[in-house]
A = this chain, B = another copy of it.
Amino acid sequence: MKEILSIVKIGGNVIENADELDQFLLNFSQLEGPKILVHGGGKLATKLASRLGIESQLANGRRITDAKSLEIITMVYGGLSNKNIVAKLQALDTNALGLSGADGNAIQAHKRPVKNIDFGFVGDIDGINSKLLDTLLQAGITPVFCAISHDGKGQLLNTNADTIASEIAIGMSSIYDTTLYYCFEKKGVLMDVEDGESVIQYINTKTYSDLLEKEVIADGMLPKMENCFHALQNNVGKVCIGDISMLQPNAKLFTTLTL
């Protein structure tokens, strides 16, 4: 029997709200067993960029990460958010340690190749340093990742936090029985997007294709679900989607995905 490892991703909406972040971190700190946190960005970087008069660069309507944006992201998510989350977790007796993908060569990536759009300093992940993460976990440490990877040639790369979480879960599945949690502002995958309580509690490959056919799942939820099934197809045991209350021991209303 492998030990259970929880990989939890929180979105930018949670990070931006101080009260919600504190509540989340309390729930996270009480989660038993080894665990890893991945935090997304949110609008903090955009706000700082705007204060500095740096405009978002777009290409074909898609945001791109130029050198200045990458600096802002590294400051805000790699510095401000990451270090404050770590300090708060320490106060909750969780021995957190903040990481970007460059730290300990934790997440190896390459700059996304230019096809129609040059996304700039955006990373596509090649691999996870599961040995490093296992060493840290075995030492009682809780790794806390910001959404930055590196190319091994000295370049930091802005990287999707959902993808970092799923790739970490996949990479750790050879050593641990992994559960991947996506915490966001909703209670789960909704049957009716207008009804926040209409949570679909279980989704598997079969019901997922039904939901797709009925167009229940669309737009922003699609890439997230693809990420989830990609993880499940690569040995991640279980994926859960919900709001921050999902991590509480008595939580009932959230979505669980299995193959």
Contacts and interface: CB of A to CB of B under 8 A. Distances in A.
A75 B79 contact: yes
A133 to B, nearest CB: 11
Nearest to A71: B80
A36 to B, nearest CB: 14
Interface string A151-177: 011111000000000000000000000
A74 B78 contact: no
Interface in A65-86: 71, 74-80, 82-84, 86
A16 to B, nearest CB: 15
A141 interface: yes
Interface in A85-105: 86-88, 90-91, 95-100, 102-105
A51 interface: yes
Interface residues of A, number: 40
* Copy count, this protein chain: 2
Contacts of A139: 132, 135
Contacts of A238: none
A52 interface: yes
A35 interface: no
Nearest to A99: B97
A150 interface: yes
A135 to B, nearest CB: 5
Given A75-B76, A83-B100, 12 more contacts: A51-B52, A52-B52, A74-B83, A75-B75, A78-B82, A78-B83, A95-B105, A97-B99, A98-B103, A104-B141, A132-B141, A135-B139
Interface of A: 48, 51-52, 71, 74-80, 82-84, 86-88, 90-91, 95-100, 102-105, 132, 135, 139, 141, 148, 150, 152-156
